[in-house]
Amino acid sequence: MEKIYYHNKKSLENKIKTIKNQGLDKLHVVSDFDRTITRATKNGEKIPSGIALIRQGGYLSADYPERAFALFDKYHPIEINENLDYEYRYKMMTKWWEEHEKLLIESKMHKGVIDDIIEKNPKLFRDGSDKFFNFLHEKQIPLLIFSAGIGNLIKDYLKEKDKLTNNIHIIANTFVFNSEGYATGYEAKIIHTLNKSETKIENPKYQEMIAKRNNVILLGDSLGDLGMVNDLDVNCIIKIGFLNKEIESKLELYKSKFDVVIANDGSMNYVNKLLEDLSK
């Protein structure tokens, strides 16, 4: 069962009051995707990421899984070890993603892989996500989805739910495919878990959408997600963190960084109630 924790209730109440008084037309939402808008587990088992599904699915060259697993085994322990020097971790994450991008191209990553994953692996969105998407669309509140995941999958999963609406902008690792359907690389700078704070939002349409909306609700499941707003002009921000695992060891750290912590792979109910309260 989900549990809700707070950093400082009085401070949170003041932020809510500020955003409410200034109105929804001054608000936008910035969110991670995997394990934030979507669930982290199913029946107690971790839900695979898009990259994991590619790796496990037998889609690419025969040696791809072994080489991809070798990269994962080498770099993932560095990614999650917050006791290591940050600059070292950053460098290693960049190296991992660059090496994996080259490996995917060499292994003949194809658009058909995306289509097959969508068909065979329905994405489990958090309970209450439909209400979340519908509210933001109805009120025309911009939603920036900022992810180190595969942008093609994010777009197609949202299309499948009929939620890829005109208020949504996605920054993620999106494949460019050639005329034969094979990947030639990502369409922009590689995004990984530690560099979201440096990724510039260069889309003119989205910049125009948020030009006068400097109150923000941020949603994420990792400390790296806190950097998603570093490139934005922010007046008041409410930071909501989903703590999906290692609750006991990470709770105090998350409470020190996020205004609200939703533990145990919880729902979007708190977020939806907050949005409703802000609209009254």
Domain boundaries, the chain: 3-39+125-175+187-279, 45-119
More confident site: 212 or 16: 16
Share of the chain above pLDDT 90, in %: 71
Nearest to 30 by CA among 244, 215, 255, 192: 215
**In this structure, are residues 218 and 196 in contact, taking their beta carbons and an 8 Å threshold?**
no
Q: Which of 32, 156, 225, 265 is catalytic?
A: 32
> pTM score, two decimals?
0.89
**In this structure, are residues 153 and 119 in contact, taking their beta carbons and an 8 Å threshold?**
no
State phi, psi for 189 to the nearest 5 degrees: -55, 140
Q: Which of 25, 34, 63, 85 is catalytic?
A: 34
Q: For 248-279, how does the pLDDT look when each residue is reduced to its tens digit (9 = 90+)? A: 999 999 999 999 999 999 999 999 999 999 99
Q: What residue spans of 34-85 are helical by DSSP H? A: 50-56, 64-80
CATH of domain 45-119: 1.10.150.340
Write down the pLDDT at residue 50: 87
Class of domain 3-39+125-175+187-279: alpha beta
- The contacts of residue 169 (CB under 8 Å, 6+ apart) are 142, 143, 144, 145, 201, 203, 205, 206, 209
Residue 195 CA to residue 40 CA, distance in Å, equals 22
Nearest to 49 by CA among 89, 79, 29: 79
Write down the pLDDT at residue 75: 94
Write down the pLDDT at residue 198: 57
Whether 32 is catalytic: yes
Q: Are strands 183-186 and 175-177 parallel, antiparallel or unpaired?
A: antiparallel
Reported confidence tier of residue 128, pLDDT bands at 50, 70, 90: very high
- The contacts of residue 112 (CB under 8 Å, 6+ apart) are 181
Whether 34 is catalytic: yes
Which helix (DSSP H) or strand (DSSP E) does residue 278 occupy? helix 269-279
Q: For 28-80, how does the pLDDT look when each residue is reduced to its tens digit (9 = 90+)? A: 999 999 999 999 998 888 888 888 899 888 999 999 999 998 999 999 999 88
Q: For 145-181, how does the pLDDT look when each residue is reduced to its tens digit (9 = 90+)? A: 988 889 999 999 999 999 999 999 998 999 999 999 9
